[in-house]
């Protein structure tokens, strides 16, 4: 492999890095609203360029940088997920951040850095690169959460997120060192061989060690019982950051979890599948029940995202229970992509509302339909998709994780059953927002909610994609299946 090929396979990351640095530099030298107004366009353009580059190298599938990274379709799929999320979040962030913080250029820089870290993490095939990318992502996220330095909630959310994350990743690191000691190598492929070779005492260590690793991954995913940072950080963070954390950061956690567990711990799948299955059950039940009680929509969506992490985990557990084929895995990938567009779409609506009213209380959404029918209807559509109502991507996503689970023996059936029942509970709190917007009379004299042009673009894009997937899921199904099959075929 020559250097040029490596550069080609890294082109999405390089493009994103250049964009991030350009944004940072221009933010320093440009002054005045007229010029800095171009920064979000630049950031989005860079992200779109990275998406194009990612699509261009799809299907190449090679290991690069001395087995440190893999540019396989699996990683590329999750890069698409992260990049799409970033593009949408930047569209929503402009007005929100400009009104609340002194500099906005830094914000885009941090966001792009976090995405860069996500992309590296999804591709990492070695403990060292994995840890590095993971910490890079975490550090950028901590700063993003507490970006509004004058806001008590933002700062508090940031410090809690930081302390929780630092401890979780420290435990994960400790587990990684033990894994290195047990197998003498840091590459995932080598670890799998090492664990396989010595069936004796090492094999019995593998599961405890993997549990320490799980602390780090589960923290990123925000799956119960490693979820408790999420409601506080989500509520405190600036809303665009909340949107970002709930999709990009979460899905990166899933990508890493999938790769480490399938490639590195493949021989112990049935065992950890049960542990993860238990996490999924706790998440689905707890997330949905507590979400019922939340008066603040950001916090409600935090719990909802915990529940969705549970649903997605069901797909992965199915694969663990029955590793023949990649049936549960493609469900995870499909769900990840759908969730990005649905959830960020909803958050864009919330951002628009918050920009106008400075409130995120569900009760304040009363009468929104009267004030801004288009905004209310689009939010309603995203809520339907989260509920899993037909003609939304969300319905197919649920089918693809619960469907395979039903065929994976009694445990799978149990997971699917709990998933279905808890999603019915979920319908109550999603539809409650719809009810508030449409049927509860609000302040009749309140003016229409102005929606900025960038947010409009984002809303339309998210709605179109969610609808397209809901009506014609086949292309995404194929892409997800193709990308899932690749996992495990590379060193």
Distance CA 470, CA 466 (A): 6
CB of 455 to another protein, least distance (A): 20
Distance CA 221, CA 335 (A): 14
The CB-based long-range contact list for 201-205 (8 Å cut-off, 24+ gap) reads 203/267, 203/268, 205/178
Residues from 125 through 154 that contact another protein (CB under 8 A): 127-128, 131-132, 135, 139, 142-143, 146, 149-150, 152-153
Are the CB atoms for 188 and 263 separated by under 8 Å?
yes
Token pair recorded at residue 307:
């529940």
Of the pair 46, 320, the CB lying nearest another protein is at 320
Distance CA 404, CA 100 (A): 46
Assign residue 487 a region (left: φ > 0; alpha: ψ between -120 and 50; beta: otherwise). beta
Of the pair 461, 484, the CB lying nearest another protein is at 484
CB contact burial 425-436 (16+ within 10 A = b; e otherwise): bbbebbbbbbeb
Q: Using CB under 8 A, which of the segments 1-9, 99-107, 155-163, 339-347 binds another protein?
A: 155-163
Token pair recorded at residue 24:
């940072």
CB of 178 to another protein, least distance (A): 7
Of the pair 119, 213, the CB lying nearest another protein is at 213
Residues from 316 through 335 that contact another protein (CB under 8 A): 324-325, 327, 330-331
Residues from 276 through 305 that contact another protein (CB under 8 A): 286, 288-294, 299
- CA triplet 314, 320, 325: central angle to 5 degrees? 100
3-class SS at 126? strand
Give 296's strand partners. Answer: 361
Residues from 223 through 242 that contact another protein (CB under 8 A): 225-226, 228-229, 231-232, 235-236
Of the pair 406, 468, the CB lying nearest another protein is at 406
Provide the strand spans (E) within 204-261: none
What lies within 8 Å, CB to CB, of 460 at 6+ separation is none
Residues from 82 through 121 that contact another protein (CB under 8 A): none
CB of 431 to another protein, least distance (A): 8
CB of 420 to another protein, least distance (A): 6
User: If we measure between CA atoms, which residue out of 199, 62, 178, 80 comes closest to residue 127?
Assistant: 178
What lies within 8 Å, CB to CB, of 126 at 6+ separation is 67, 68, 69, 186, 187, 188
CB of 350 to another protein, least distance (A): 17
Q: Rule CB under 8 A: choose which of 59, 208, 475, 491 binds another protein.
A: 208
Q: Using CB under 8 A, which of the segments 87-95, 207-215, 241-249, 252-260 binds another protein?
A: 207-215
CB of 151 to another protein, least distance (A): 8
Of the pair 236, 320, the CB lying nearest another protein is at 236
Q: Rule CB under 8 A: choose which of 39, 83, 90, 395 binds another protein.
A: 395
Of the pair 36, 187, the CB lying nearest another protein is at 187
124 binds another protein (CB under 8 A): no
Residues from 165 through 204 that contact another protein (CB under 8 A): 166-168, 170-171, 173-174, 176-178, 180-181, 184-186, 204
User: If we measure between CA atoms, which residue out of 279, 189, 300, 180 comes closest to residue 234?
Assistant: 300
Residues from 250 through 279 that contact another protein (CB under 8 A): 271, 275
460 binds another protein (CB under 8 A): no
Residues in the chain: 491
Q: Rule CB under 8 A: choose which of 92, 158, 240, 345 binds another protein.
A: 158
Of the pair 52, 363, the CB lying nearest another protein is at 363
Q: Tell me the backbone φ, ψ of residue 126, rounded to 5 degrees.
A: -140, 140
The number of residues that bind another protein (CB under 8 A) is: 93
Q: Rule CB under 8 A: choose which of 157, 367, 394, 488 binds another protein.
A: 157
Give 416-437 as a DSSP string. HHHHHHHHHHHHHHHHHHHHHH
Are the CB atoms for 59 and 469 separated by under 8 Å?
no
400 binds another protein (CB under 8 A): yes
Q: Using CB under 8 A, which of the segments 86-94, 352-360, 405-413, 451-459 binds another protein?
A: 405-413
């Amino acid at each position: 492999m020559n250097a040029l090929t490596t550069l080609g396979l890294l082109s999405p990351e390089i493009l994103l890095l250049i964009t991030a640095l350009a944004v940072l530099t221009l933010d320093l030298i440009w002054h005045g609203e007229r010029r800095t107004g171009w920064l979000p366009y630049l950031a989005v353009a860079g992200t779109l360029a990275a998406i194009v580059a990612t699509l261009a190298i799809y299907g190449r599938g090679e290991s690069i940088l001395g087995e440190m990274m893999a540019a396989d379709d699996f990683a590329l799929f999750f890069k698409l997920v992260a990049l799409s999320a970033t593009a949408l979040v930047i569209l929503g962030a402009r007005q929100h951040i400009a009104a609340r913080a002194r500099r906005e250029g830094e914000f885009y820089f941090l966001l792009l850095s976090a995405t860069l870290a996500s992309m590296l993490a999804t591709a990492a095939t070695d403990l060292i690169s994995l840890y590095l990318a993971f910490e890079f992502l975490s550090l950028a996220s901590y700063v993003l959460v507490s970006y509004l330095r004058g806001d008590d909630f933002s700062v508090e959310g940031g410090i809690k997120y930081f302390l929780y994350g630092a401890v979780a990743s420290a435990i994960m690191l400790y587990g990684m060192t033990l894994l290195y000691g047990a197998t003498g190598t840091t590459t995932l492929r080598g670890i799998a061989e090492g664990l396989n070779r010595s069936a004796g005492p090492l094999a019995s260590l593998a599961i405890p060690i993997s549990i320490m690793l799980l602390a780090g991954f589960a923290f990123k995913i925000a799956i119960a019982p490693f979820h408790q940072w999420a409601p506080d950080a989500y509520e405190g963070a600036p809303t665009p950051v909340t949107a970002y954390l709930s999709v990009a950061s979460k899905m990166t956690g899933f990508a890493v979890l999938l790769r480490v567990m399938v490639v590195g711990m493949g021989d112990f799948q049935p065992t950890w599948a049960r542990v993860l299955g238990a996490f999924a059950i706790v998440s689905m039940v707890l997330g949905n029940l507590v979400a019922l009680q939340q008066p603040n929509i950001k916090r409600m969506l935090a719990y909802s995202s915990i529940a969705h992490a549970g649903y997605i985990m069901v797909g992965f557990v199915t694969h663990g229970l029955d590793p023949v084929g990649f049936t549960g895995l493609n469900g995870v990938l499909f769900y990840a992509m759908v969730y990005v567009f649905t959830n960020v779409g909803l958050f864009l609506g919330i951002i628009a509302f918050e920009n106008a009213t400075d409130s995120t209380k569900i009760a304040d959404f009363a009468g929104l339909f009267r004030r801004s029918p288009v905004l209310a209807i689009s939010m309603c559509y995203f809520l339907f998709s989260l509920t899993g109502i037909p003609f939304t991507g969300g319905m197919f996503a649920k089918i693809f994780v619960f469907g395979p689970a039903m065929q994976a023996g009694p445990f799978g059936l149990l997971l699917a059953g709990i998933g279905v029942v808890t999603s019915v509970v979920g319908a109550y709190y999603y539809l409650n927002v719809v009810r508030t917007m449409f049927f509860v009379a609000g302040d009749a004299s309140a003016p229409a909610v102005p929606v900025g042009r960038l947010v409009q673009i984002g809303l339309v894009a998210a709605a179109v994609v969610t609808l397209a997937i809901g009506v014609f899921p086949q292309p995404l199904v194929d892409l997800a299946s193709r990308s899932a099959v690749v996992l495990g075929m590379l060193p």
